[in-house]
Amino acid sequence: RPETSGEGRAKIKRSRDPLSPKPILDRRLLSDALDDAGVSLKPGQLDDFYQLLHRQHYPPLHEFLENYRRNDAASKRFSPEGDDQRRSARHAGGGRDRRPLKNAASNKPGKRNIRNLPKSLLAFLADPSLNFATV
């Protein structure tokens, strides 16, 4: 028997329509998808992913992966691009600067904590059939 409100109308329980594409910021949906894909993360690695995503202003996933790989290569003293290409790519963002946000505390000597994401997570995010979006 459905519940009735004061006016005598029946309350209808509504379920949420499935989201398409799924928002990457929905931690429960992402965790379930990672479990289904067999990707296991250590505590804090999902938080590191969200922190890196936030510092890059939530770009599309393919851009996030390109930026992550470029920054990872630069931290290992190997640059896949020349300086001219890097400068032009920085200014080609349609007038919007997409450089990561600066955090003064993390730039102090001895305080550089480079967040390394597992390769299995990066491969999961690079999958073209992935139905997640950052916006």
Residue-level pLDDT, tens digit, the chain, 135 residues = 555 555 667 777 666 666 677 888 889 999 999 999 999 999 899 999 999 999 999 999 999 999 999 887 776 654 444 444 445 554 555 555 666 666 666 555 544 456 789 999 999 999 988 888 887
> Residue 125 has which token pair?
């995010």
pTM higher than 0.75 for the full model?
A: no
CA distances 114 to 24, 100, 107, 117, 121, Å, are 22, 13, 11, 10, 16
**Residue 75 to residue 128: CA distance in whole angstroms:** 27
pLDDT of res. 128? 87
pLDDT of res. 74? 74
CB 118 within 8 Å of CB 45:
yes
pLDDT of res. 66? 93
CA distances 2 to 5, 8, 23, Å, are 10, 11, 33
**Residue 43 to residue 46: CA distance in whole angstroms:** 7
